[in-house]
């Protein structure tokens, strides 16, 4: 049975519904929705959408195209939404308030002086399908807040998955903002806006010249069951191991995939980054080498839970925590917590030291005989300062042949280790992948955690 309340409705039948009236190929009118005009900035992002009724929606962005605010005006009354990273503020005639802020597992609502934690289940395409919360203060009483189901191109099912409790959280398909104000019904997918009723973008693909075989307006190569488009720039295979690189501003950007589904996440730079972008620009998978090197780092996504817990434990205790992951294992192994950081004085002056015994669990040495069987190992530097020295960064301690992190790494490499090593800085909130000779890549901690698919 088809629910008629949420489908494409051909209201304007007197001619062309959609007018692409500027030199960049952007849609400037949608007569079917009563949109009289759409203005764009130099990044082809809409700055004003005006309706035949006189109502309008205004957007502002920073210089890089990140949305800062949205103003909806109808009948002379305006409401505002302000975007400050993961923190979303709303303002109407009663004043401005924090609406919610997101976290890797969902979001947090502020109701008065109470913060309600909402957790989300997402499908293989990254769509939010179920939101739930614990309403008990003494035990566990899980309550479903909202359920979402989608047609392949992103239109919501109606008639049986209505909002159950709490706010209508307008981040669902692809975990992107659904804009239904004034009947707009677009989804803001960062670089472009998308109409799920049509399965079509409002703007030309910013990377259209790299995908000449495909229409610059189609969504996910017209195959939304397999491909996703996480930022409106280029589709990628949803099941494949993602490949990330840092952009100009130092943020992780998804640039391709390897055509496999091994649960790995890759971080690349240099010539490897260029090779991945060139290979995947036409929608193809990257088939080159992604072995650990001075330009490639990777992790198994199953490491995520233990990495997060080690960071949290270090924040609580002020001591180093860490662990390792064996190749083919279902989970990582946590090490014994390190010793209390101490102030030290050497010939070079005053300093500080925090330490952990690698591959030690419950007081027993669990270092494998063949270090080539180790996929990854890591540890966390505590956010502690002693003698004016901060220990919370990601710089490996020691020097080649002189102990510390670098010395240990060199010894492990001599024993056959060819995997990935990283340090989390509890103070800097960054992750540094390194080997005995160089830093491979440094990543922001929140983006590192988010990039893992679990």
What does the pLDDT look like over 304-330, one tens digit per residue?
Answer: 999 999 999 999 999 999 999 999 999
What rounded mean pLDDT belongs to the chain?
Answer: 89
In a domain, 377, yes or no: yes
CB 199 within 8 A of CB 222: yes
In a domain, 215, yes or no: no
- Give whole-number Cα distances, 185 to 17, 24, 174, 182, in Å: 16, 23, 15, 8
Q: Which domain holds residue 97?
A: 18-210
* pLDDT at residue number 34: 94
| Mean pLDDT lowest among 56-70, 181-195, 253-267 | 253-267
How many folded domains does the chain comprise? 3
Nearest to 319, CA basis, from 352, 362, 365: 352
- Mean pLDDT of the 131-140 span: 90
* pLDDT at residue number 1: 42
In a domain, 3, yes or no: no
Give the separation between CA 176 and CA 170, rounded to whole angstroms: 8
Residues 293 and 399 in one domain: no
* Whether pLDDT at 173 is above 80: yes
The stretches of 281-397 forming alpha helices (DSSP H) are: 304-317
pTM over 0.85: no
Give the separation between CA 388 and CA 369, rounded to whole angstroms: 40
Residues 256 and 319 in one domain: no
- Domain boundary, last residue among 267, 299, 331: 299
User: 154's torsion region: left (phi>0), alpha (psi -120 to 50) or beta?
Assistant: left
CB 47 within 8 A of CB 59: yes
Residues 79 and 143 in one domain: yes
User: 429's torsion region: left (phi>0), alpha (psi -120 to 50) or beta?
Assistant: left
In a domain, 7, yes or no: no
Residues 169 and 273 in one domain: no
Residues 187 and 256 in one domain: no
CB 126 within 8 A of CB 174: yes
* Whether pLDDT at 401 is above 70: no
* pLDDT at residue number 402: 62
- Domain boundary, last residue among 151, 175, 210: 210
Residues 64 and 158 in one domain: yes
* pLDDT at residue number 39: 97
CATH number at 427 reads: 3.40.140
- Domain boundary, last residue among 184, 210, 236: 210
Assign 454 a pLDDT band (cuts: 50, 70, 90): very low
* pLDDT at residue number 420: 97
Assign 297 a pLDDT band (cuts: 50, 70, 90): very high
In a domain, 355, yes or no: yes
The residue to which tokens 């049975």 are assigned: 1
* pLDDT at residue number 345: 82
For the stretch 417-426, pLDDT in tens is 999 999 999 9
Give the separation between CA 136 and CA 147, rounded to whole angstroms: 21
* pLDDT at residue number 403: 73
Main-chain dihedrals φ then ψ at residue 414, nearest 5 degrees = -65, -30
CA 356 remoteness from chain centre: 30
* Whether pLDDT at 2 is above 80: no
Assign 14 a pLDDT band (cuts: 50, 70, 90): confident
Most confident by average pLDDT, 17-21, 101-105, 397-401: 17-21
Most confident by average pLDDT, 52-56, 132-136, 165-169: 52-56
Token pair of 294 as six digits: 């001075």
For the stretch 76-129, pLDDT in tens is 999 999 999 899 999 988 889 999 999 888 999 988 888 999 999 988 778 999
Residues 309 and 295 in one domain: no
In a domain, 41, yes or no: yes
In a domain, 9, yes or no: no
Residues 350 and 387 in one domain: yes
Assign 6 a pLDDT band (cuts: 50, 70, 90): low
Percent of residues, the chain, with pLDDT higher than 70: 95
CB 170 within 8 A of CB 185: no
* Whether pLDDT at 145 is above 70: yes
* Whether pLDDT at 33 is above 60: yes
* Whether pLDDT at 259 is above 60: yes
Residues 41 and 89 in one domain: yes
* Whether pLDDT at 400 is above 60: no
Give the separation between CA 156 and CA 172, rounded to whole angstroms: 9
- Mean pLDDT of the 224-233 span: 83
Residues 320 and 288 in one domain: no
Contacts of 371 (CB under 8 A, 6+ apart): 412, 413, 415, 416, 417
Residues 409 and 444 in one domain: yes
* Whether pLDDT at 370 is above 50: yes
In a domain, 219, yes or no: no
What is the chain's alpha carbon radius of gyration, rounded to the nearest angstrom? 25
Higher local confidence (pLDDT), 453 or 88: 88
* Whether pLDDT at 255 is above 50: yes
* Whether pLDDT at 11 is above 80: no
Residues 78 and 94 in one domain: yes
Give the separation between CA 409 and CA 279, rounded to whole angstroms: 33
């Amino acid at each position: 049975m088809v629910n008629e309340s949420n489908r494409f409705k051909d209201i304007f039948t007197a001619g062309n519904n959609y007018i692409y009236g500027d030199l960049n190929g952007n849609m400037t009118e949608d007569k079917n929705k009563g949109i009289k005009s759409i203005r764009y900035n130099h990044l082809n992002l809409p700055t004003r959408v005006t309706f035949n009724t006189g109502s309008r929606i205004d957007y502002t962005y920073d210089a890089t195209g990140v949305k800062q605010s949205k103003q909806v005006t109808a009948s002379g009354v305006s409401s505002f939404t302000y975007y400050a990273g993961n923190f979303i503020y709303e303002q109407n005639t009663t004043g401005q308030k924090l609406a919610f802020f997101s976290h890797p597992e969902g979001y947090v609502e502020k109701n008065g002086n109470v913060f309600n934690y909402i957790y989300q289940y997402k499908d293989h395409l990254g769509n939010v399908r179920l939101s739930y919360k614990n309403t008990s203060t003494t035990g566990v009483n899980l309550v479903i807040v909202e359920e979402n189901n989608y047609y392949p191109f992103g239109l919501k099912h109606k008639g049986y998955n209505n909002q159950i409790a709490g706010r209508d959280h307008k981040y669902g398909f692809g975990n992107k903002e659904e804009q239904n104000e004034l009947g707009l019904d677009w989804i803001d997918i960062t670089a472009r806006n998308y109409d799920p009723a049509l399965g079509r973008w409002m703007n030309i693909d910013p990377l259209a010249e790299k995908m000449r075989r495909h229409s610059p307006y189609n969504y996910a190569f017209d195959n939304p069951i397999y491909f996703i488009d996480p930022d409106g720039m280029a589709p990628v295979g949803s099941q494949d191991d993602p490949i990330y690189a840092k952009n100009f501003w130092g943020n992780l950007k998804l640039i391709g995939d390897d055509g496999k589904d091994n649960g790995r996440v890759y971080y690349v730079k240099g010539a490897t980054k260029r090779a991945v972008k060139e290979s995947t620009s036409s929608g193809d998978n990257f088939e080159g080498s992604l072995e650990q090197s001075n330009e490639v780092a990777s992790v198994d996504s199953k490491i995520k839970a233990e990495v997060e817990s080690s960071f949290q434990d270090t924040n609580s205790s002020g001591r180093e925590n860490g662990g390792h992951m064996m190749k083919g294992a279902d989970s990582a192994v946590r090490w014994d917590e390190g010793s209390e950081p101490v102030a030290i004085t050497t010939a070079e002056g005053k300093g500080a030291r925090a330490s952990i015994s690698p591959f030690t669990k419950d007081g027993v040495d669990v270092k494998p005989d063949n270090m080539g069987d180790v996929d990854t190992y890591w540890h966390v530097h505590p956010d502690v300062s002693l003698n004016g020295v901060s220990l919370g960064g990601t710089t490996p301690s020691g020097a080649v042949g002189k102990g510390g992190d670098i010395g240990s790494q060199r010894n492990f490499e001599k024993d056959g280790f060819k995997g990935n090593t990283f340090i989390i800085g509890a103070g800097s909130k960054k992750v540094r992948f390194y080997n005995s000779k160089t830093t491979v890549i440094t990543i922001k901690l929140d983006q590192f955690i988010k990039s893992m698919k679990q």
